């Protein structure tokens, strides 16, 4: 009886009903549906790794690795200066100890980055206070590459970071130990550039990280003075500055178009920590999350197509990945890839180089110094169907700039030119290969002027432009088109005999194992190129059919 009276009191009633009310007020969902909940990491087999690679032993907190669909570049150990290796992506297995290097710096190489719009051009910075631009030949290197295309001289002390602009062609950013960020315009014929187009001198200490927003109009930096800054790079002014005492940032990253930043660093108690910030207010982070007590730097990578965040720890073998959302909780932990092999650095393949047939959404290249090994790790969405999965591959940034250097410097902003990852849906070709471009008029103009906005960035596609012009442009089709078709076909037939400077019919048989391997790699490259050529021909045939239909429709109006 006494217990029953206690249950009927108003106080006890309030206590009983407070728990459901709290559950209703809580913003933590009990179950969260996501197509990426079961993403798993898959390490490559031994024969698909790069073995016996002399990886650098530098103590700098950089990636030391850069990857594109053609090459993997790795900073290496070198006596008497700095050097890095450029290895064809298909050349897996054990590396020749006398493999040629790219060397020309007088000090250790600290950072390397591929040009996002030219798969055969790479930038490197060094302790000798210079930045060098290298044009990598399409054939295999037979000796050390010491001739650079451009040298940028402007920093007073060693240069620690380089970053290419995400949408403008020929714009490069560099930061050095002189606490300055310099903007370089490479659209010039001068081999040595002595002065940058802009110098940003708002930092009080060494810059540890740089990141651009989607269209490249803002630059975020993490500095050794424990401050995160959002800078207008063309004006050189600081838009926002974070001086939050509870988080010491080492790396900072723009989260695509979500108007948020993510930083990794350490907390007051020296725990490794992540912090999420609003782009409009850097006074207090939106959320903080402690990870562990290790001392290695955390490298964050964000995929704007899937809204997935990957956090890679230096000195350990783990890769944590999260799904980022605009609502609370902003960071949704998915799972973790674990490995016993600690990584010294990390490289990331661009989305256009992924294997969509196996539902691969991200690929890392782990630098394992203890084994002199580079190990690819693929992030895969498990799907039963072998067809193309449209929902996990939205249009992504392609290999074409949306702005020229002068347009961006004059104040223009434009989003990246998007492409589809569906096989055969859109021609993907780097700028140094104009003969393999489609035969449409818009494609020809884009290849003749690489610094202009491409046809895919305009609101009207090539088909719509032909219809809008009333059929005036296709009038030159019987003469101009046939001539260009014949010329390109002759070039393609000639290329089929001579690929990458290698004559298939007149080459003597290999005498050594190394020559046999080189011939095998060249044959693999020939097969890959012929497959791409077949895909290009199919796209060209479809484009010609559309142009003929538009010509018939425009002539029918008259």
**Cis previous bond, 329, omega within 30:** yes
Which residues make beta-bridge pairs with 532? none
- Please, are residues 519 and 507 in contact by the beta-carbon 8 Å criterion? yes
- Please, are residues 489 and 446 in contact by the beta-carbon 8 Å criterion? no
pTM for this one?
Answer: 0.71
pLDDT per position as a tens digit, 369-405: 999 999 999 999 998 877 888 899 999 999 999 999 9
Which of 267-271, 386-390, 506-510 shows the lowest per-residue confidence on average (mean pLDDT)?
Answer: 506-510
CB count in 10 Å sphere of residue 521: 16
- What number is the average pLDDT over the span 58-80? 90
Task: Calculate the CA dihedral of residues 425, 428, 434, 435 and round it to 10 degrees.
Answer: -50
The half-sphere exposure of 241 on its side-chain side, counting CA atoms within 13 A, is: 10
- What number is the average pLDDT over the span 350-360? 93
pLDDT per position as a tens digit, 100-112: 999 989 999 999 9
Task: Calculate the CA dihedral of residues 87, 93, 97, 101 and round it to 10 degrees.
Answer: 0
Q: What average pLDDT does the chain have? A: 81
Smallest CA-to-CA distance from 370 within 340, 346, 327 is with: 340
pLDDT per position as a tens digit, 531-549: 888 888 888 888 888 888 8
- Please, are residues 76 and 101 in contact by the beta-carbon 8 Å criterion? yes
- What number is the average pLDDT over the span 66-75? 96
pLDDT per position as a tens digit, 417-474: 999 998 877 544 344 433 333 333 333 333 333 333 433 333 334 433 433 343 333 3
pLDDT per position as a tens digit, 136-173: 998 888 899 999 999 999 999 999 999 999 999 999 99
Q: Which residues contact 251 (CB under 8 A, 6 or more apart)?
A: 208, 209, 222, 263, 264, 265, 297, 298, 299, 300
What's residue 32's pLDDT?
A: 65
* DSSP strands (E only) in 155-212: 159-164, 171-176, 181-185, 192-193, 198-200, 207-212
Distances in Å between the alpha carbon of 211 and those of 136, 175, 221, 429? 26, 12, 7, 26
């Amino acid at each position: 009886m006494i217990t029953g009276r206690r249950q009927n009191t108003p106080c006890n009633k309030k206590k009983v009903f407070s728990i459901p009310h709290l559950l209703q007020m809580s913003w933590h969902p009990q179950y969260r549906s996501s197509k990426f909940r079961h993403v798993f990491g898959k390490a490559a087999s031994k024969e698909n790794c790069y073995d016996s690679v002399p990886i650098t032993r530098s103590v700098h907190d950089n990636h030391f690795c850069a990857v594109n669909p053609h090459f993997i570049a790795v900073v290496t150990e070198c006596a008497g200066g700095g050097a890095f290796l450029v290895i064809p992506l298909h050349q897996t297995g054990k590396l020749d100890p006398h493999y040629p290097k790219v060397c020309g710096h007088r000090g250790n190489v600290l950072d390397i980055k591929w040009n996002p719009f030219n798969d055969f051009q790479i930038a490197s910075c060094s302790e000798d206070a210079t930045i060098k631009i290298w044009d990598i030949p399409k054939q295999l290197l037979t000796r050390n590459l010491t001739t650079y295309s451009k040298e940028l001289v402007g920093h007073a002390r060693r240069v620690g970071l380089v970053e290419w602009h995400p949408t403008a062609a020929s714009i490069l950013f560099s930061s050095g130990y002189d606490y300055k960020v310099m903007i370089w315009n490479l659209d010039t014929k001068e081999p040595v550039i002595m002065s940058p187009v802009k110098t940003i001198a708002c930092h009080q200490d060494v810059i540890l990280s740089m990141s651009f927003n989607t269209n490249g109009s803002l630059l975020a930096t993490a500095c050794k003075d424990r401050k995160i800054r959002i800078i207008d790079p063309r004006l050189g002014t600081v838009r926002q500055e974070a001086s939050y005492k509870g988080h010491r940032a080492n790396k900072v990253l723009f989260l695509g178009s979500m108007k948020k930043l993510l930083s990794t660093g350490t907390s007051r108690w020296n725990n490794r920590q992540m912090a999420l910030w609003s782009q409009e207010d850097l006074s207090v982070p939106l959320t903080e999350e402690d990870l562990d007590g290790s001392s290695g730097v955390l490298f964050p990578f964000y995929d704007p197509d899937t809204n997935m965040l990957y956090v890679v720890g230096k000195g350990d073998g783990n890769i944590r990945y999260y799904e980022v959302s605009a609502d609370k909780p902003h960071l949704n932990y998915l799972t973790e890839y674990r490995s016993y092999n600690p990584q010294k650095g990390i490289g990331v393949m661009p989305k256009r180089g992924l294997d969509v047939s196996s539902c691969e959404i991200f690929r890392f290249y782990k630098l394992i110094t203890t084994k002199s090994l580079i190990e690819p790790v693929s992030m895969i969405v498990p799907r039963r169907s072998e067809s193309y999965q449209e929902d996990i591959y939205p249009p992504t940034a392609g290999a074409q700039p949306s702005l020229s250097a002068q347009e961006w410097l004059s104040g223009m902003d434009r989003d990246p030119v998007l492409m589809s990852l569906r096989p055969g849906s859109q021609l993907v070709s780097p700028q140094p290969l104009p003969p393999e471009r489609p035969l449409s008029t818009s494609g020809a103009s884009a290849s003749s002027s690489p610094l202009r906005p491409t046809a895919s960035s305009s609101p009207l596609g090539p088909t719509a432009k032909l219809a809008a012009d009333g059929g005036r442009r296709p009038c030159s089709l019987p003469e101009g088109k046939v001539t260009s078709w014949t010329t390109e076909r002759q070039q393609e037939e000639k290329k089929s005999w001579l690929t990458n400077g290698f004559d298939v019919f007149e080459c003597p048989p290999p005498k050594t194992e190394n020559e046999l391997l080189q011939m095998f790699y060249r044959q693999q490259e020939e097969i890959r190129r012929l497959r791409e050529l077949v895909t290009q021909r199919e796209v060209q045939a479809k484009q010609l059919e559309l142009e003929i239909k538009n010509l018939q429709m425009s002539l029918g109006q008259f």
